[in-house]
Amino acid sequence: MSFSIQNKSRALRELKNKLFNSRFFTLSVLFHLVLVLGLGGTVIIQQATEPSDFTGGDPESKFVQNEVQPVKPAVETPRETPAMTPTVQTTKTLDVITANAPTMTPFQMPAMAQVVPVTTADPSKVITPTIKQVNPGQLTPAQAQAIRKFATWAKGPGGPGTSPKEREFEFNAYLAKYAGGDWASTNVIQNGQITKGSLPNLLYFMANLSKGKIKANPIAEPLDLSSQDIFIKKPPFIFFTGHKDFVLTDKEVENLQKYVQVGGCIWGDSSLPGLRSRFDLAFRREMRRVIPDADKEWEALPPDYPMFKKNLYYAEVAQPPPGVNYYKESVYALRFGGEVAIIYTPNDYGDMWRLALHYKPGEEKKGDAGLEIDTTRIERTWTMKFTDDSVFYRMEMYYRGMELPKLINSYKFGTNVVIHLLTRWEDRLKTVPQGL
């Protein structure tokens, strides 16, 4: 009996020691139990219902509208919305600090100022003036007379058996500055002036190799297509290039329409070789706005087209040579009055012409064998002849197919194209009476 009492006494002492040692844990459990039993079912604050940002709204708006229909009040309320204060409930067991909510006014979208874009983003909605050709393959006497006054670039009579190397030419050439795309992609513009690039290099090549018979003057200032300068300066062609998508303004389209009607030509050269690029799609689309009533859609000029067979300055390069990355697409065209008014070279000859050519000292009489890429990088201010080193050092990586023989052929082909644009109206104008 005494043994049982001693065991119970020892067990009680051990229990008391354990409770004493864990007194902090025991007190924490009891405290949290009291809080749960006392406050577990109490609502301290009732959540205020947040009003919707937009009620109703424009059906065409992109904002999400409130789908919950507001309850109509029993009595008519004033138009002004009163201040909204959340409802707060308190309990006897806990005092809650309450504060009045600040006065809230209904959210209203401010009226947005109408922005008039410089260009139209959606080509399908552009209002385009049209060219009406009575007979698309022929010229009226009035049209022929306008072309005679405008196309004065070729000097001396031309005719059957006359080589263009026996004639003289003088003209100014311009780079097109148009709305939207990167119109100076193969040329370098500094302070609004062309300092180097494809167009001046091509014209320098023509002037140098013709020994002065071709006076091709590259103009440092790009031609703004929205201005009237296009009709004052009378260029035989306007060089159009870029990488990007673009949309011409209506004024640019109107000026270009008038320009091709008096004998000018638009020459597009893509800086992204091949078809279906951004520039390719944009240029084809926008030029159809310039000649919406052409003889036909864009056509690939056949191998026997006069540009490749007649009045060739370099007969050895009659057909389009490969361009950058060995692309060898056709030359495409739109016509007015039976002659090409817009030509398009998608092989990217412009990037090839960023490498300037010149004769090695004392080897001018060797012909092609005396030519080399100008790596001196000494700018000739009056000709803007200058090799673009960004192309020169990337020839093997990004600009393939630009070996010296191919580069020379691209320059010769460009010369043939220019000579054709200078002389293409001569035979056709002879068949149209000069009287009005």
Torsion angle of C-alpha atoms 284, 286, 289, 292, degrees rounded to 10:
0
Per CATH, the number for 151-156+163-427 is 3.40.50.12140
Angle at Cα 103 formed by Cα 97 and Cα 108, nearest 5°?
140
Q: Determine the Cα–Cα distance for residues 127 and 214; give it in Å rounded to an integer.
A: 40
Tokens 């691209």, residue located: 410
Q: Determine the Cα–Cα distance for residues 279 and 275; give it in Å rounded to an integer.
A: 9
pLDDT digits (tens, 9 = 90+) for 57-97: 344 434 334 444 444 444 444 444 444 444 444 444 333 33
Question: Which has the closest alpha carbon to 362: 354, 372, 352?
Answer: 372
Count of CA atoms in the C-beta half-sphere (13 A) of 55: 9
Residues 6+ apart with CB under 8 A from 201: 353, 354, 355, 356, 357, 384, 385, 386
Q: Are 240 and 269 in contact (CB under 8 A)?
A: yes
| Other CB atoms within 10 Å distance of the CB of residue 352 | 28
3-state secondary structure of 239: strand
Q: Determine the Cα–Cα distance for residues 55 and 34; give it in Å rounded to an integer.
A: 47
Residues 6+ apart with CB under 8 A from 189: 195, 222
Q: How far apart are the first and last CA of the chain?
A: 148
Q: What is the pLDDT of residue 382?
A: 57
Tokens 């004639």, residue located: 167
Q: Determine the Cα–Cα distance for residues 172 and 228; give it in Å rounded to an integer.
A: 16
Could you give phi then psi for residue 24, rounded to 5 degrees? -70, -40
Tokens 């180097």, residue located: 196
Q: Determine the Cα–Cα distance for residues 128 and 52; give it in Å rounded to an integer.
A: 46
Tens of each residue's pLDDT in the chain, 436 residues: 555 566 667 777 776 676 666 666 667 767 777 666 766 655 554 554 444 433 333 444 343 344 444 444 444 444 444 444 444 444 443 333 333 444 444 434 334 334 333 343 454 444 444 455 545 567 888 999 999 999 999 887 776 678 999 999 999 999 999 988 789 899 988 888 888 899 999 999 999 899 889 999 888 899 999 999 999 999 999 999 999 999 999 999 999 999 999 999 999 999 999 999 999 999 999 999 999 875 568 999 999 999 999 889 999 999 999 999 999 999 999 999 889 999 999 999 999 999 999 999 999 899 999 999 988 766 665 567 788 877 877 777 777 888 999 999 999 999 999 999 999 999 888 888 876 4
Asked whether the CA dihedral 323, 324, 325, 331 is positive or negative, the reply is: negative
| Other CB atoms within 10 Å distance of the CB of residue 318 | 15
Burial class, 361, CB count within 10 angstroms (exposed 0-12 / middle 13-18 / buried 19+): exposed
Q: Determine the Cα–Cα distance for residues 86 and 90; give it in Å rounded to an integer.
A: 13
- The tokens of 78 are what? 């004033």
Q: Are 172 and 230 in contact (CB under 8 A)?
A: no
Helical residues (DSSP H) of 317-358, grouped into ranges: 349-352
Q: What is the pLDDT of residue 302?
A: 95
Residues 6+ apart with CB under 8 A from 123: 247, 285, 286, 289
CA 425 to chain centre: 33
Question: Which has the closest alpha carbon to 389: 401, 380, 400, 376?
Answer: 376
Tell me the sheet residues that pair with 175.
239
pLDDT digits (tens, 9 = 90+) for 253-294: 999 999 999 999 999 999 999 999 999 999 999 999 999 875
- The tokens of 333 are what? 């065209």
